[in-house]
Amino acid sequence: MSRNAALDPLIVNRIAERCKGAAGVLFVTGAGISTESGLPTYRGVGGLYNQGATEEGLPIEEILSGRMITRDPSVCWKYLRRMEKVCRNAQPSYAHKIVAAFERRVPRTWVLTQNVDNLHARAGSTNVIAVHGSLGRLSCMACSYRAEVESYSRLEEVPRCPRCGAAVRPDAVLFGERLPDTAVAAMDRELTQGFDVIFSIGTTSVFPYIRAPLLLGRQRGAMTVEINPEDTAASHLVDHRLRTRAGEALSAIWEKMS
């Protein structure tokens, strides 16, 4: 296993050569890939609330939970708005754009992301499994109403469904909620087909379902690569560890592929 390879040209070239001959590449991404877009890395919600309790004196995990949006949606929406505003003002980074460009080089390129910022799609990626959902889609908590929104700026304090009048919420996984069935099914389907190279980028990999693609990939002979300045829960699972930022590492790999 390569340890602390950073941008060792031999390792970068090895990864690039494997990608050039790959039939399938998977990118598993977390908050770290969006830092170059100006978003904070986050534990749950991010560097926005790493200092402790919120203004209400409650942990952010309790405020941004499925229980809170049902019990007191105004409190939950207050913080959802702050998150959405930060995401809305961000632009896809060079790392996002390189990931999107892989779709033009590798027949099966997929992104499995924990991020709710929609930056992969905005960068041009079409095969995206947003396992934690998206802040840009709203759904009624009482009926089947769904809607895409570009901004929360014109929404009511607690947005209401135009059909039935019930509160609406983002189609994002809040604390204490299960993953969307459609995302889980898509993830299982693509992992069953398999990948030749699997990247883990900017994620601490604390969730078992985020480590699972790496474990399964290694069992099937895939090359596994972690891009993260810090050690993570998956660092011991990968073939190569690039200890640097997403943009720098992906740029070096992409250049060798060209």
Q: Which residues are catalytic?
A: 132
Residue 209 phi, psi dihedral angles, 5° rounding: -75, -15
Amino acid identity, position 13: N
Alpha-carbon distances of 155 from 84, 102, 112, 159, 210, rounded to whole Å: 12, 36, 29, 6, 33
Per DSSP, helices labelled H in 59-111 are 60-63, 66-71, 73-88, 94-101
- What does 134-169 look like in DSSP terms, one character per residue? EEEEEEESSSS-EEE-S-STTS-SS-B-TTT--BEE
Alpha-carbon distances of 77 from 69, 72, 208, rounded to whole Å: 8, 9, 28
Separation CA 221–CA 35 (nearest Å): 31
